Amino acid sequence: MRHRILEPIGKGGMGEVFLAEDSELERKVALKFLREALQNDATALARLQREAKAAAALDHPFICNVYDTGETEDGRAFIAMEYLEGETLASRPERERPSLIDALRIGLEVAEALEKAHERRIVHRDLKPANVMVGRDGHVKVMDFGLAREFRAEGSGSEAQTLSGGVAGTPGYMSPEQLRGEAIDGRSDLFAFGIVLQEILTGTHPFRKDTGAETMAAILKESPRGSEELPAVIQPLVDELLSKNAEGRPSLEHVRTELRRFVERPELLEARATPGRVFVGRESELAELRQLAEGLRSGKGSLALVGGEPGVGKTRLCEEILAFARHEGFLALEGHCYEIEGAQPYLPWIESLEQVCRVVPSDQLREALGEEASEVAKIVPELRRMYTDIPQPIVLPPEQQRRYLFNSIQNFVVRLSEAAPLVWLLDDLHWADESSLLLLQHLVAHIATVPILIVGTYRDVELEVGKPFEKMLSQLVRQRLCERIALKRLSEDAVSELLSALGGAPAPASLVRIIYDETEGNPFFIEEVFAHLSEEGKLFNAEGKWRSELKVSELDVPEGVKLVIGRRLERLSEATPKIMRAAAVIGRCSTSSFSKACVGSTRTMCSMRSRKRKGPSS
């Protein structure tokens, strides 16, 4: 035997590792053997061989190299691996937890290693701290591909063909689909990576319970814990990684890009939470929506209509219920109505059904479409590109066509909800076309015993007698087919909480009072005033803390939302307003997809987020 064993290094559940010397190449290696009791176990031997094959196919600086396989003179199988001096993330003492930047760099290197594996169509299936070694040079090596499997993939993410799952892995780090024994792909590794990333950043496991069974139950049913300890700018990424629905997890390319951005620009970690992440003063309304969502588990569907003035936080509230739905493994969909002349009929439904095409596995989607595929394809032509077996629609008299289309869409979404409950947001219904509203009425009449929650938002100040939405709302209320949630402006206490969250520290009472008085508690106006005063340098000192010499009388708070946005726009370059004006004009064209892009871009530019005081926003 060319390897001379020097000393034991460690033991695991199935194997033991020894430091050895390769006499031919004159280098130290790590030899991994099966435990003596498993030497004749066919399953264990297959796992050892699979680990060698998978790792050997991955030539990457952050993956442990496998050099060779063989047997000792007495017939013990082994694999010869790169010898690593260091310790695993699991064996590091708590007192030696890495700094924030080091933790992010470790996460970045693990993400790069996984990305390489997924490029070679290999899913690890057992990513955990014990399988991530940090060497003395500070760099990581992902190890133990013993549970790895190859999956065929023409693309990535939801386009990947999944492999047969089986319940295999470490319970505290398995994805929900892995625990259920369902087919999995690389997105299962993303869930495990989300757990590992939170652990190295905060030292806490988001689902850990007293027993393995309780931990697995928490992964399947509970929301993650401890995310409040994460930096505000990192929390959204970890939340997405820990989505119970595989379709809700980001791509590894996105993860790698985000982590690299923070590693290379650590000053971004000090950024305040953006207004879109702050959520205050709506706890009772959110609890009401959550209760309706919980009812989906027992097959009880409903419609909730959230009304209020512009900027009062309707969409922000709905973002929370959609995030809740994703974490619970529900299918979260959203479609938007736009104030565009000649808008395409059924636009919010088209938008959300196109989302279904992107996130639902192809075979599952085709099964849900069933015989209704030809009718659904009338408003979602993309389906005909995806499936060549869709027949041409039945030719019906005009008076029958609409009802047949509505029944077909109803049957389709009911079948879709059998795989996972649906939480469906229809935003800005006051702008909806009549066809979209008629379809909504049709569905609402049939979802009482189906796991579908439709949440619609509307501006109550834009209700006009005789208009399509006003007529529909009156009918739904009269027939008791909807739950109405009215959002009011924030109280002074809630304004204080919002400003404190935006500023990263308790806001001065005098500032709270004047902003509350001037904005009357409208969240959008509050955020814009905060951004304006922050950009003017009137709120914070050089250390990023509230100015102790803050004089409210000198703040010059603009009166009115248009004025405060106007003052912010004055600070843009000369060319930017010209682009915005052009986009606003183009945005009124009738081509729906182009119109949506233009309108969305214009709105984004008009409601730009607060830039960092020390440099431009990223």
Residue located via tokens 């304004």? 495
Q: Please state the φ and ψ torsions of residue 252, each to the nearest 5 degrees.
A: -65, -30
The token pair at 366 is 């085709």
Mention every residue, 6+ apart, whose C-beta is less than 8 A from residue 96: none
Question: How far is the C-alpha of 317 from the C-alpha of 216, rounded, in Å?
Answer: 30
In Å, how far from its chain's centre is CA 201? Answer: 18
Closest CA to 333 of 261, 412, 264, 231: 412
Angle at 231 between CA 228 and CA 237, to 5 degrees: 85
Instruction: For residue 123, list its beta bridge partners.
Output: 149
Q: Which residues of 525-542 are buried (b: 16+ CB within 10 A; e: fewer)?
A: bbbbbbbbbbbeebbbee
What string of DSSP letters covers 264-287? Answer: H-GGGGGPPPPGGG---S-HHHHH
CA geometry: angle at 96 spanning 91 and 99, to 5°?
Answer: 120
Which sequence positions are flagged as catalytic? 126
CB 510 within 8 A of CB 550: yes
Output the DSSP codes for 127-173: --GGGEEEETTS-EEE---TT-EE---SSSGGGSPPB---S-S-GGG
Residue 212, helix vs strand vs coil: helix
Q: What is the 3-state secondary structure (H, E, C) of 353-408?
A: HHHHHHHCCHHHHHHHHHHHHHHHHHHCCHHHHHCCCCCCCCCCCHHHHHHHHHHH
The CB density around residue 158, as the number of other CB atoms within 10 Å, is: 18
Which amino acid type is present at position 470? E
Distance CA 63, CA 189 (A): 15
